[in-house]
Amino acid sequence: MGIMSTDFAHTRWGYVYDGDQHIHEPRDFWFDRLPSRYRDRAPRAITGSDGKDYYRAADGGTTMVTDMRTAVAGVSELDWRFGPYSFDDIRPSAWDPKQRLIDMDIDFVYAAIVHPNRTDFGLFSDADPEFQNLCVQIYNDWMSEFCSVDEDRLLGMAQVPTTGVDNAIAELRRVRDLRGIRGVVLNKWPSGDDWPGPEDDSFWYEAEGLGMPIIIHRAIGSTRMGAPFATRGGRYTEALTLGHLQLERLGSSYVPALSYMIIGGVLERCPNLHLVGTETGCGWVPFFLEQSDDNFLRHRFYSETGLTMLPSDYYRRQCWNTFQVDRFGIENRAGVEDKFIWSSDFPHAGADWPNSVKNIEKNLRGVPGHEQKMILTTNCRDALFID
């Protein structure tokens, strides 16, 4: 089966842009790509006695390649599970860009913002600075290779090291010139800390000057999911629970980051910086804007603020959010209909592939045609500075 004509991806809405897809590194990615002097530190994919694949670390320990939720496109929910799995279970489009284009055509999706599989991969966050910087560069080079197969349809997001502002800026500048890279996704604040600070400003100014959008996928730094969640009998657990997934899916973990970017004055100081919250949902946005404006107007005279506009004005000027299932957000979109971007989360567990059209139809029922085009095409292009 060859790559389909892009006319196949043309729908009655026009060309659909997906605000959140992911890639998954292939089986021997790290061992094959790291220089030979580092290969003794590279995680190796091995097959366990249970027939599933694991990464074996340099110290002999093993960990899951990733949990099943990150590669379930086309798999019935009845067969989803949390635990290791085999690379044979994953659609090749997870790492093969030509196959990805085929799967996008099947789903009637023309173009997509392509995220890393995960932005908190242990090799990045736990390694010494030199090794982490190298691993981030290797991953970003692969993202570029993947997306350069069709730069109009595969819109790559590079990662940023967490080893300090200077290294973050250096990688930001480097990836700006890589084919297929349209922006960067942050796991921690540019300084590498879990909390933002004034030292991050040099990164924001650089991103603004380079025209590089900032993506925050669900959360950043200390607001990332992972805190214990109360379960039966008031006991707490670190295991994956529906409670953990609930926190992840509500967009609440993104609110602190968005609040800082607006109330903290980052968007005031960088009026041309674009900020996109992906896999955050949108239904909470009107409430957030209403309450942020009220908080500002009531308390601005005695609290520390340098804002020259209402908080909602910064959002409307510079921010976007993606959603997967958010009928409430669509029904309450007035005033921010040009800031919502439909997304699928392919090939993760949020995806409805190969029937995303059904999801779109349910979400956009009754929405005027020109607004449907905004949500499915224009808003995504605007967020990424695509003319």
- Would you report the helix, strand and coil content of the chain in percent, each value rounded to 5? 40, 15, 40
Q: How far apart are CA 153 and CA 323, in angstroms?
A: 19
The pairing of strands 275-278 and 214-217 is parallel
Maximum alpha-carbon separation in the chain: 65
What is the pLDDT confidence band of residue 283, given thresholds at 50, 70 and 90? very high
Q: Show the domains of the chain with their CATH numbers.
A: 6-24+93-383 (3.20.20.140)
Q: How far apart are CA 148 and CA 337, in angstroms?
A: 31
Q: How far apart are CA 73 and CA 175, in angstroms?
A: 29
Nearest to 336 by CA among 272, 291, 283, 294: 283
Phi and psi torsions of 277, nearest 5°:
-95, 115
Residues 335-361, mean pLDDT to the nearest whole number: 93
The partner residues of 15 in beta bridges, in order of sequence, read 10
What is the pLDDT confidence band of residue 225, given thresholds at 50, 70 and 90? very low
Query: Can you read off the two tokens belonging to residue 251?
Result: 């967009």
Q: Is the pLDDT of residue 162 over 70?
A: yes
pLDDT at residue 48, rounded to an integer: 81
pLDDT tens for each residue of 99-125: 999 999 999 999 999 999 865 555 555
Q: In a 10 Å sphere around its CB, with 0-12 CB exposed, 13-18 middle and 19+ buried, how is residue 305 labelled?
A: middle
Nearest to 144 by CA among 113, 181, 176, 177: 181
pLDDT at residue 315, rounded to an integer: 98
